[in-house]
Amino acid sequence: MSEKELTNTIAERLGTAHEKISSAVQQANRPTDSVKLMAVSKTKPVEYIVAAYQQGQRIFGENYAQELAEKAESLNEYSDIEWHFIGPIQSNKTAIIAKAADWVDSVDREKIAKRLQNHALELNKTLNILLQVNISNSSAKSGVLLQDVDALAKQVDSYSQLNLRGLMAIPDQYDDNKQLIEEFEQMQACFLRLQQQYSSVDTLSLGMSGDMQPAIQAGSTMVRLGTAIFGQR
């Protein structure tokens, strides 16, 4: 599609996304601006990101370390883009992630936290950290188990270059919303407990296209949308 068509399409999709978020926020009786939108731009060319940026989008999520690094480098003139790394973290990719990302949303073990701390020290930067929780106890998913969150949070908070901001989770898909809602409520309870312990904690990243409404009902402060904004991969 042409540049104009791309701009118009993404503008329309972002508008629809914000309308849906606003509606869910109203239904949950929450403050108007209490939920941020992350545009998940993995596998999409930089032109798509620029088109979204021109419509006011600033938060972008990437799943692959090298792709994040290349996009962050090619778009470094857009200094107010907030880059989130949201994929599983391999130890040998932590240096790339630490350099390119502003936020690392998928920290799930102390080894990774320590490596990010060391890289951030070398870079003289601070990384915002979300702990990814395997709330569904799924063998197919990354994440720290709920009962181990406190220990990992304490470790991350002890590092000078890591700023503990909260939690992220991607629950399993269920035919019945009951289990999903239970898991979202467990995440909310854990998040509220962390907030009481750490003044820096302010972000609960839950919800994608299919489960955005119950996520916002459960207190999500950031939802992640990819296909809904950029189209099918």
Question: Residue 147: enclosing H or E segment and its boundaries?
Answer: none
State the 10-residue block means of pLDDT for the chain, 233 residues long.
Answer: 89 97 96 96 96 97 98 97 97 98 98 98 98 92 95 98 98 88 96 98 96 96 96 79
Residue 82: CA atoms inside 13 Å, Cβ hemisphere, count?
A: 14
Contact 172, 136 (CB under 8 A): yes
Reading the block at residue 98, the tokens are 């630490």
What's this model's pTM, rounded to 2 decimal places? 0.96
Please provide residue 14's backbone torsions phi and psi, each rounded to the nearest 5 degrees. -65, -40
- Burial class for 170, CB neighbours closer than 10 Å (0-12, 13-18, 19+): buried
Please provide residue 166's backbone torsions phi and psi, each rounded to the nearest 5 degrees. 155, -145
Q: How far apart are CA 35 and CA 204, in angstroms?
A: 9
CATH placement of domain 3-230: 3.20.20.10
Paired residues of 164 in beta bridges: 129
pLDDT at 201 (0 to 100):
98
For the chain, the domains span 3-230
Could you report the per-residue pLDDT of 194-216, keeping only the tens digit for each? 999 999 999 999 999 989 999 99
Q: How far apart are CA 16 and CA 11, in angstroms?
A: 9
pLDDT at 233 (0 to 100):
66
